[in-house]
Structure formats: C-alpha cells, structure tokens
Amino acid sequence: MKLLLVEDDDLLGRSLAQGLRENGYALDWAREGPHAARLLRGSEYDGVILDWMLPGMDGLTLLRDYRLRGGKTPVLMLTARDATRDVVAGLDTGADDYLIKPFDFAELLARVRLLLRHAYAQPSSIIRVADLEVDLGQRSARRNGKPLDLTAREFALLELLALRVNHVVSRLEIWEKLYETEEDRSSNVVDVYISYLRRKIDRGNVPLIVTRRGEGYMLRGEPCTAP
C-alpha cells in the first residue's frame, strides 16, 4: 500500500518514514502544504498521514481543498491540538481519524491499517482465500496452516492482491501502490516479486496467483473473513 506522509518536522518525519517503510509501505513524504497538494493531484494513495501545522498551507486547508475537489483517500490527521473543538474541526473538514501528538508508533500503525481496511471495505484484519490466510494486523501469512516466510515487500504485494481478491490488478496499479514516486517503472521488478510470491505460496499447492496476459495479476479463490 502507498501512503503520503505530510509532516514538516524533520526528525519526526524521518522516524515515521523509516518505520512505515520497514513495515512494507511505499511512501512519499511532503514537508510543505503546497508540495502535498501537488502530490495529491498527481498520484493515487491508499492513505494520507497529515500534520495540521505546515508551512505554506496548513493541514486543515489542504484537507478542505482536497475534499472539495472530490478526493476520497482516507486521511489520518496528526496534531498537538487536543481541544474538543479542534478534533471536531478536523473530523468535520474530512479527516477519517485523528491522532494527538505525542503518540506511540504502534498506535499509528494500527490506525493506518484500520483506514486501509475501511478503504477496501474489509471488515476484518484476517483475509482467508481458499487455504491461504493473510493477517493484515500481524503482517503475516499462512498456507495450509504453515507460516510463509515473506519479506515486507512480498507481504505488501500479497496484501494488495488479497484486498482485491478475484479482481485483476494491473502492473501499473501494483507500481502505484507498492513503489515510491521516484522509483524506475521501466524495470521488471513487479514480475520478479510476483515470481517470488508464487514460489512461496503456490509451490506444491493449488495455484492461487493467476496471470492475465496483457492485464495483470489476480489472487483467485473464494474469500472469507475471520469471525
């Protein structure tokens, strides 16, 4: 999944960016409101982590303008403002969730996962497809009850396919969701990671990852969620 982090504090921004990337998220980082606005106009994101106080354009104005343009990406607002009126203002302007500084990084991760589940209409943190189980909360997967040893990027790819089960995901969409804006899109890295994932998931089992030539890739199976 691809996130936009909008945070002008260099130390906090670097810490959040590193932690999010280590957890398998592709990330663009904007330090100013106008830069974030340009990124939102030019790229598709699964979620936005937005600070309130920003140079050039504050987060509330940025969010208001984005929603007025029809932007629907879920937004988690970060701020030191803890007064009820400020929380209400953020939510009424279009924020989907609100996190008050200082916060624990584990809580931020949990809130990001919740936003993404809502964005994909996924009520549970566990997705089951045939005998494959994908745990979005624990960032882990099992097949036939056996744990799969996946890298962060391999899990991110599996997560995207699982959230779109039985739907073809194009190579371009995989690029947009899993890789950062400045990365070279001309390489065959998507096909390479699909190959890695197939070896770990499908080898010795009924194949679940399907290639649709000229279209993209699909995780095939009857989905069900944990109770």
CATH architecture classification, 2-119: 3-Layer(aba) Sandwich (3.40)
Q: What is the pTM of this model?
A: 0.77
Edge-first strand listing for the sheet containing 132-135: 146-147, 140-143, 132-135, 126-129, 223-225
User: What are the boundaries of each domain within the chain?
Assistant: 2-119, 126-225
126-225 maps to CATH 3.10.129.10: no
| CA–CA gap between residue 225 and residue 161 (Å, rounded) | 15
SS3 140: strand
**Does the structure show a pLDDT above 50 at 172?**
yes
* CB within 8 Å of 87: residues ≥ 6 apart: 81, 98
pLDDT tens digits for 101-137? 889 999 999 999 888 888 887 777 899 999 999 998 8
